[in-house]
Amino acid sequence: MSIPSRITPAEPIHPLPGPLQPATDSPPPPDELAGVRLARVALTWLAEPGTWSVYRLVREFGPVGALDRVLAGDVPDRRLLAAVAARRAAGDPHEVAAAAIAHTGRLDARIVVPEDDEWPPQVRDLELLSLAAAERRIDQDTAPPLAIWVRGQWPLAETLDRAVAVVGARAATSYGGYVATELGYGLANRRWTVVSGGAHGVDAAAHRGALNAGGLTVAVLACGVDRPYPAGNSSLFDRIVETGLLISEWMPGAEPLRHRFLIRNRLIAAATAGTVLVEAAARSGATQTLRRALAINRPAMVVPGPVTSAMSVGAHELLREHPRTRLVTGVPHVLEEVGRIGADLAPLARAPRQPRDLLDDESALVLEALPRRGALGPDELAARAGLDIRLTLRKLALLEDLDLIVRRDGGYAIAAPSPRPTTTAN
């Protein structure tokens, strides 16, 4: 897969069939597409991403029509009207959107909308997301995104076509960091895109693992793509931009407010084929990402940790609470959950085969009848094993051929283990 030329925000792109944009035989005129893009950016600024009332308006009236109705106050949602009034006090939505689009171009970034052919269609599955008894607004407003800002050269839909999310604790233990790095490396090595949130701990380890494998990784941010957070990972973000993607639902300059991380998590779950939780404390936000994956019927996987570790309490509780949550211990297990049916089965974990594994029941009885030290004759061995003498003699010959016993002092004894080869330092 070769790196394509960058798609600029002003470049006309074919529409993607779906509920937000009727299928057409030809792309919309550039002026119309520019108006649609501006309307989506303005709506994203007026209301936080995931707002259901805005999404439904766009689905019914289109982006431009939805923006007109919102600005005219022709919407039943009082909470939305209050939010729009507060935003409009800070500026004109059309001017703010136009400035954001221009600034995005100067950042060498782009805005991807559902009318573009690089829009990832799987995020539409967020329409299915309904969390029972949700009381917080953050759990109620889980609608699909209206627009996504992208930094990096890869087409968004193609990059996320084969993607797995690896998430977990910011304060990861050395165990969690090691597992996340191995997962990131192994998945990227199998040509899967590794998606995470760019945070310290498990997120950063998964990103670095993918980068070290020379694979693709995507950081989904809770702020503008021009100010990725945390600042301590700035060098990591620079590497991701060079070989992968930074994406966000917030326009450039947006701050990483706490509630935005929770909004962001639903996009991580919906944009990928499955989510792996490596470590999570009892109140970790990473557990919310896995719950979102479960709610839209995506594979939800948990890596177990030590039962004595506080950083694995949340992960273990998810395993107990949700029967559809799968325990995984490495890349083979993950691929079995997200890969092709019947083609990515993980091999069964088996201990190395030993010569004793080849023994039949009678041979095992004779071997067990031998003392740990010293030797016994055939007659006494037959008595201890409860077998007749002829059968015992045949089994003794077999055990001798397998180098499990040796003749000694007129009887038989257990053979000494073969010495391990030693190496000498150069």
* Most confident option among 25-39, 295-309, 327-341, 378-392: 295-309
Q: Is the pLDDT of residue 27 over 80?
A: no
Whole-number average pLDDT of the chain: 86
Mean pLDDT value across residues 258-280:
96
Question: 42-46, 119-123, 214-218, 397-401: which range is least confident on average?
Answer: 397-401
- At 299 the pLDDT is 96
pLDDT band at 423 (very low <50, low <70, confident <90, very high): very low
Q: 201: exposed, middle or buried (C-beta count within 10 Å: 0-12, 13-18, 19+)?
A: buried
- At 408 the pLDDT is 84
283 versus 9: which is more confidently predicted? 283
> What angle do helix axes 202-212 and 174-189 make, rounded to 10 degrees?
40
Neighbouring C-beta atoms of residue 384, cutoff 10 Å: 16
**Domains of the chain listed by start with CATH number:** 152-338 (3.40.50.450), 355-414 (1.10.10.10)
Tokens of 116: 């573009």
Mean pLDDT value across residues 158-173:
96
pLDDT band at 220 (very low <50, low <70, confident <90, very high): very high
How many residues are there in the chain?
A: 426
- At 198 the pLDDT is 96
Tokens of 345: 């089965």
Closest of 224, 232, 227 to residue 200, by C-alpha? 232
State whether residue 110 is helix, strand or coil: strand
Q: Is the pLDDT of residue 90 over 60?
A: yes
The model's pLDDT over 332-377, given as tens digits with 9 standing for 90+, comes to 999 999 986 444 555 555 556 666 767 888 888 888 888 888 888 8
- At 402 the pLDDT is 83
Q: Is the pLDDT of residue 37 over 80?
A: yes
The CA distance from 272 to 122, in Å, is 8
- At 360 the pLDDT is 86
- At 348 the pLDDT is 52
Mean pLDDT value across residues 314-343:
88
- At 385 the pLDDT is 85
23 versus 395: which is more confidently predicted? 395
Q: Is the pLDDT of residue 129 over 90?
A: no
* Most confident option among 6-15, 202-211, 305-314, 381-390: 202-211
Q: Is the pLDDT of residue 317 over 50?
A: yes
245-248/148-151 β-pairing? antiparallel
Interior/surface letters 226-261, b for 16+ CB within 10 angstroms, e for the rest: bbbbeeebeebbeebbebbbbbbbbbbebebeeebb
Q: Is the pLDDT of residue 3 over 60?
A: no
Question: 139-148, 171-180, 394-403: which range is least confident on average?
Answer: 394-403
- At 379 the pLDDT is 86
Q: Is the pLDDT of residue 141 over 90?
A: no
